[in-house]
């Protein structure tokens, strides 16, 4: 997103999140498969921040490690808040980035996952256009409960923020709250924040708050108070209930977007889609479907109840029947999967194939038209075009130390209950008799039978019954 105002972002991500009752750092708790801090970082980068400073504290090694591994951006920097002494103190920890910095500094929290780049960029731009040194995002709530109230004078100018516990009854009637997002002239921040944080804290908690900076700005050049209408964008996460609510909000937005793009949801409230998933038109999703990671699904594909698809590429007109589990797999057009099919990483399924009920595929290539209808394990294999795999077929790919490949030529027929001991090669149009254990190469157009010969004992049951009396 282009944003004409020069700005950097400071993301407060130092808190432990005591009320989450977790050993994991608060900002690494996930919303739709993505840590909350990643949403804040992505929003700032997409809004055009020239630099993003993440202020770390509790679990800082874990948070920094995740961001360094998953966000390859030279614009991300880190600062450390050794002791968590309030929001102003958190921003003060990033003071080394106030010199030779962009004109404005946006301040946001790493535990507010639904703020987006468009709203953040608009907020910074409107603050810059207001000619005030500080802008704060506010919201009006029907029930503001115990949030801090925004105070304005008769002219509508922000004069300060007062915490609920310190407010008078009249002030508690105010329905406008502090949303916790700020845009500040960096020069103003560098000048006045040290005055707040380097002296004694003026409260019982001994902490330093950004609301003190609002009071300073109000007493100088004024404060731009920007009321945001979309309350879900500013919802913070402090408890597991908050986390669930933030997830519901994010999921609703994603599903609504895809419905607007031509995707059918049988029950959108029961369909889980992560933010990086891409869907074509006329895709149909049934309840209980989970689409995760970098999954891409082509137009006309149907995914039935209970299927979980992670980091997969599905072409157009694929039919995923109920309760399939697919991970890091590729499926070409016209193919049917399931019910209860399992595609493990490295599965590459061609056009017009069938991977039926209780068939597991791992690191295998199916050429076009391969059929494996029932109850089979096919691992480390290459199956040629048009091959038919009978029920109960197993590629025995592991010798206790190494994995080995199985090659099956096009047009082959593998009878039910066949075990193919790898490394193995079956030629073109090879036929394998049911119940065989294949240990040697099978030439093209050959029939291989590798099982004990049947022997019938006439009258055996009658004789047994007579002996038993």
Local structure of 39: helix, strand or coil: helix
Residues 67 and 206 in one domain: yes
pLDDT of residue 173: 94
213, 234, 255 - which closes a domain? 234
- Domain membership flag for residue 453: no
pLDDT, tens digit (0-9, with 9 covering 90-100), for 419-468: 999 999 999 999 999 999 999 999 999 999 999 999 999 999 999 999 99
Residues 187 and 302 in one domain: no
219, 234, 249 - which closes a domain? 234
Residues 227 and 280 in one domain: no
Residues 18 and 95 in one domain: yes
Residues 282 and 223 in one domain: no
pLDDT, tens digit (0-9, with 9 covering 90-100), for 196-211: 998 888 777 889 999 9
Q: Residue ranges for the binding site for UDP-N-acetyl-alpha-D-glucosamine?
A: 26, 81, 86-87, 109-111, 148, 163, 178, 238, 344, 362, 377, 388
Residues 14 and 59 in one domain: yes
Cα distances (Å, whole numbers) of residue 203 to 28, 83, 85, 206, 363: 30, 17, 11, 6, 62
Residues 279 and 410 in one domain: yes
CA 388, CA 393: separation in Å to the nearest integer? 11
- Domain membership flag for residue 294: yes
Residues 229 and 267 in one domain: no
The answer to whether 426 and 409 have CB atoms below 8 angstroms apart is yes
Q: Tokens 């069938």: give the residue.
A: 354
Q: Tokens 């535990």: give the residue.
A: 111
- Domain membership flag for residue 244: no
Instruction: Please state whether beta strands 419-421 and 388-389 pair in parallel, antiparallel, or not at all (unpaired).
Output: unpaired
- Domain membership flag for residue 253: no
**Domain span at 179:** 7-234
- Domain membership flag for residue 252: no
- Domain membership flag for residue 183: yes
Residues 227 and 294 in one domain: no
The backbone torsions φ and ψ at residue 120, rounded to the nearest 5 degrees and listed phi first, read -65, -45
CA 362, CA 367: separation in Å to the nearest integer? 15
Q: Residue ranges for the binding site?
A: 26, 81, 86-87, 109-111, 148, 163, 178, 238, 344, 362, 377, 388, 391, 397-398, 416, 434, 451
Q: Residue ranges for the binding site for Mg(2+)?
A: 111, 238
Residues 301 and 209 in one domain: no
Residue 374: active-site member:
yes
Q: Both tokens of residue 103?
A: 């004109």
CA 19, CA 27: separation in Å to the nearest integer? 13
Residues 227 and 331 in one domain: no
Domain count for the chain, please give it: 2
Q: Both tokens of residue 453?
A: 């010969």
Cα distances (Å, whole numbers) of residue 303 to 20, 168, 243, 360: 34, 56, 27, 18
The answer to whether 183 and 123 have CB atoms below 8 angstroms apart is yes
Ranges under pLDDT 70 in the chain: 1-3
- Domain membership flag for residue 462: no
| Candidate list 224, 290, 374, 382, residue with the active-site label | 374
CA 246, CA 139: separation in Å to the nearest integer? 17
Q: Tokens 């209970």: give the residue.
A: 306
Residues 284 and 415 in one domain: yes
- Domain membership flag for residue 463: no
Report the CATH number at residue 396. 2.160.10.10
Residues paired with residue 287 on neighbouring β-strands, in sequence order: none
pLDDT of residue 1: 47
CA 316, CA 305: separation in Å to the nearest integer? 19
pLDDT of residue 119: 97
Report the CATH number at residue 47. 3.90.550.10
pTM value > 0.85: yes
pLDDT, tens digit (0-9, with 9 covering 90-100), for 177-193: 999 999 999 999 999 99
pLDDT of residue 131: 84
| Average pLDDT of the residues of the chain | 96
């Amino acid at each position: 997103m282009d944003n004409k105002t020069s700005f950097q972002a400071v993301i407060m991500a130092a808190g432990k999140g005591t009320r989450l009752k977790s050993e994991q750092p608060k900002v690494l708790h996930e919303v739709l498969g993505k840590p909350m801090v990643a949403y804040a970082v992505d929003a700032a980068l997409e809004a055009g921040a020239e630099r993003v400073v993440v202020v770390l504290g509790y679990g800082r090694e874990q948070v920094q490690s995740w961001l360094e591994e998953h966000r390859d951006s030279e614009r991300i920097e880190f600062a450390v808040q050794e002791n968590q002494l309030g929001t102003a103190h958190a921003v003060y920890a990033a003071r080394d980035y106030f010199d030779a910095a962009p004109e404005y500094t946006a301040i946001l929290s790493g535990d507010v996952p639904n703020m987006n780049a468009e709203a953040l960029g608009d907020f910074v731009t409107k603050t810059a256009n207001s000619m005030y040194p500080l802008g704060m995002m506010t919201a009006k709530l029907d029930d503001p409960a115990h949030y801090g109230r925004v105070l304005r004078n008769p002219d509508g100018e922000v004069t300060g923020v007062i915490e609920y516990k310190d407010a008078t009854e009249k002030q508690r009637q105010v329905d406008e709250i502090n949303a916790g997002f700020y845009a500040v002239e960096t020069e103003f921040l560098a000048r006045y924040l040290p005055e707040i944080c380097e002296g004694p804290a003026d409260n019982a908690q001994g902490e330093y708050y950004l609301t003190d900076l609002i009071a300073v700005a109000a007493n100088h050049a004024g404060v731009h108070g920007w009321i945001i209408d979309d309350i879900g964008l500013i919802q913070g996460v402090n408890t597991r209930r908050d986390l669930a609510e933030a997830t519901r909000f994010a999921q609703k937005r994603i599903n609504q977007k895809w419905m607007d793009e031509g995707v059918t949801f049988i029950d959108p409230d029961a369909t889980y889609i992560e933010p990086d998933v891409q869907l074509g038109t006329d895709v149909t999703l049934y309840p209980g479907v989970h689409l995760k990671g970098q999954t891409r699904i082509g137009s006309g594909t149907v995914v039935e109840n209970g299927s979980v698809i992670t980091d997969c590429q599905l072409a157009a007109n694929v039919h995923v029947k109920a309760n399939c589990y697919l991970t890091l797999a590729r499926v070409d057009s016209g193919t049917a999967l399931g019910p209860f099919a399992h595609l493990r990483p490295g599965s590459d399924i061609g056009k017009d194939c069938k991977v039926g009920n209780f068939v597991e595929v791992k690191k295998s290539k199916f050429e076009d038209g391969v059929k494996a209808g029932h109850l089979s394990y096919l691992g480390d294999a290459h199956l040629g075009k048009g091959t038919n795999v009978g029920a109960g077929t197993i590629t025995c790919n592991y010798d206790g130390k190494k994995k080995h490949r199985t090659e099956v030529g096009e047009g082959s027929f593998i009878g039910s209950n066949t075990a193919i001991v790898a490394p193995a090669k079956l030629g073109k149009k090879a036929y394998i008799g049911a119940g065989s254990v294949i240990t040697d190469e099978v030439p093209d157009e050959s029939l291989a039978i590798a099982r004990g010969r049947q022997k019938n004992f006439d009258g055996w049951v009658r004789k047994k019954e007579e002996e038993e009396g």
